[in-house]
């Protein structure tokens, strides 16, 4: 079983960017934690990060014709306005869980709206790096 994890724009800056909101953990810390947990669950994990909307869409579309069981995606700022990423998620027939490190509903008004969540299986927000672990565990229950 393979799980695809997609990290969107600016997540490569974790540990440097606004630590009060995003914490001190880096993207490498999150990825290492996911690799460790995936070994415990005996699942393969493929991790991808891009600041480019088109690259994220390409990765989602590639999942259509692969043996990916489910996707964990943190679309970053694209959460709030990318209809193109929403459409790519909607075209998938596999579970997709949207994650966010911070609680987007406790932030600026524009961050409270997700255009991608309605076409996802579920959304996990506000648990820091544990949002990713919760999503991985949730996929294993599907």
pLDDT tens digit sequence for 46-97:
999 999 999 999 999 999 989 999 999 999 999 999 999 999 999 999 999 9
- Would you name the residues annotated as active-site residues? 22, 100
Task: Quote helix, strand, coil % in the chain, to nearest 5.
Answer: 50, 20, 30
Q: What is the pTM of this model?
A: 0.93
CATH topology of domain 2-141: Rossmann fold (3.40.50)
Question: What is the average per-residue pLDDT within 116-131?
Answer: 95
Mean pLDDT of the 7-27 span: 87
Nearest to 30 by CA among 63, 53, 6: 6
Question: Is 27 in contact with 92 (CB distance < 8 Å)?
Answer: no
Q: What's residue 76's pLDDT? A: 93
Can you count the helices (H) and strands (E) in the chain?
5, 5
């Amino acid at each position: 079983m393979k799980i695809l994890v997609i990290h969107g724009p600016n997540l490569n800056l974790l540990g440097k960017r606004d630590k009060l909101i995003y914490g001190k953990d880096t993207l490498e810390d999150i990825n290492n934690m996911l690799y460790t947990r995936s070994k415990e669950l005996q699942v393969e994990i493929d991790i991808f990060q891009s600041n480019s909307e088109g690259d994220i869409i390409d990765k989602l579309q590639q999942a259509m014709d692969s043996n990916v069981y489910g996707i964990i995606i943190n679309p970053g700022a694209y959460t709030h306005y990318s209809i193109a990423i929403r459409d790519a998620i909607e075209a998938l027939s596999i579970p997709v869980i949207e994650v966010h490190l911070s609680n987007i509903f406790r932030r600026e008004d524009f961050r409270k709206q997700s255009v991608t969540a309605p076409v996802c299986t579920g959304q996990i927000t506000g648990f820091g790096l544990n949002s990713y672990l919760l999503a991985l565990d949730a996929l294993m229950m599907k």
